[in-house]
Amino acid sequence: MKKFKDRVAVVTGAGSGIGQATAIALARKGCHLALADVSEAGMQQTAATVEGLGRTASQHIVDVADKKAMENFAGEVIDAHGRANIVVNNAGIGIAAPFEDHSLEDLERIININLWGVIYGCWFFIPHLKKEDEAQI
């Protein structure tokens, strides 16, 4: 992407770690942010930092593994910002344990977030990204 100023960046998992750092870095480059996370407290901290840099930040409590929630999230972003230019499908989890110590439910949750969360993020935002002169996932 050639320019970031006044672009709208969507970042999932924006409440901590890499997602939080990515959102702040994009704000420093001039982006407005649509933040998504399951942790309201972490996301509020990210939003405060983004806003302190003079950028806007909408906050969305979203489970990226929930198809309907992700569809609604895309609509909320367009309603709040009018567009999306960048999507960072960052949300992800892992469980630090040997494979055989995971329950099937744990493995399903990991796959739903780490795989389906990315697919939903692409699927529901691509129609909006295609309307822009420049867009990135």
pLDDT in tens, 93-109: 998 999 999 999 999 99
End-to-end CA distance of the chain: 10
CA 53, CA 28: separation in Å to the nearest integer? 7
Whether residue 134 lies inside any domain: the answer is: no
Domains held by the chain: number: 1
Phi, psi of 10 (to 5 degrees): -100, 125
Structure-block tokens of residue 5: 């100023």
CA 9, CA 29: separation in Å to the nearest integer? 11
Whether residue 73 lies inside any domain: the answer is: yes
63 Cβ contact partners less than 8 Å away, ≥ 6 residues apart: 38, 69
Whether residue 28 lies inside any domain: the answer is: yes
**pLDDT tens figures, 40-72:** 999 999 999 999 999 999 999 999 999 999 999
Query: The domain that contains 71 carries what CATH number?
Result: 3.40.50.720
The domain in which residue 107 lies consists of: 8-129
